[in-house]
Amino acid sequence: MLRAGNVLRSFLLNSKGGERPARFSTKMANAELLNRVREEVEELHRSFVSWFAGEGCSDDDDTFERMFTSRLPKDALYIFPGGTVSRFGDFFGTLRAAYGSSPAFRIAIRDVQIALREGNMVVTTYVEWQKGSKNSTPAENGRRTSVVMEVCDDGIKWRHLHETWLPLEQMAKGPFDEF
């Protein structure tokens, strides 16, 4: 039997095209969870696009709460792609002030996967492609993300987020013309 750490290690070892461990079956419960997690990842990133572009949402406290603070607990850790460490609560002021700051900003999410499921906690990985960003260098970039999520009755809470830049040669071949 695989233990949680071994399952994650096994998945990471196989993430370069190999078979996924047997633990990750295509049972309906896993498929439903993956769909719920994928929808959450995509919805949060649609919120970032709307907020930074200043389109499709208003710049008010209720909208900011609905889009961000309701799902990103203030004490949750956020590790930026360059290695800077912050708590979401420390990042909210910067995010709040950035409304409409990047009108051409767009994001595409690819390859959402569940790396580990333990009770109501889920480790999820995905690749995020950005273009038109005024807040990242380069403006067209890609990052691999791992996130620890808590699946609750009232939604999904992001408990830990770690982003890592993709290699420059991979970024140069990014799917920027597809979104």
pLDDT tens sequence across 13-41:
334 344 433 343 334 478 999 999 999 99
pLDDT of residue 9: 37
pLDDT at 20 (0 to 100): 39
pLDDT of 55 reads: 95
pLDDT (0 to 100) of residue 22: 35
pLDDT for the residue 15: 40
Give the count of beta carbons closer than 10 Å to the beta carbon of residue 64.
19
Residues 6 or more apart whose Cβ sits within 8 Å of residue 88: 72, 73, 74, 75, 76, 78, 158
Locate the DSSP E strands across the chain: 77-79, 85-87, 106-118, 121-131, 141-152, 155-165
- Residues in Cβ contact with 155 at an 8 Å cutoff, skipping those fewer than 6 apart: 40, 70, 71
The mean of the pLDDT values for the chain is: 86
List of E strands, 22-140: 77-79, 85-87, 106-118, 121-131
* 81-90: average pLDDT: 95
The answer to whether the beta carbons of residues 179 and 154 sit under 8 Å apart is no
DSSP secondary structure letter of residue 154: T
Name the strand (E) or helix (H) holding 14. Answer: helix 4-14
Report pLDDT for 26. 34
pTM across the whole model: 0.82
3-state secondary structure of 58: coil
- What the block records as the tokens of 47 is 């919120």
Q: What pLDDT, on a 0 to 100 scale, did the predictor assign at position 25?
A: 34
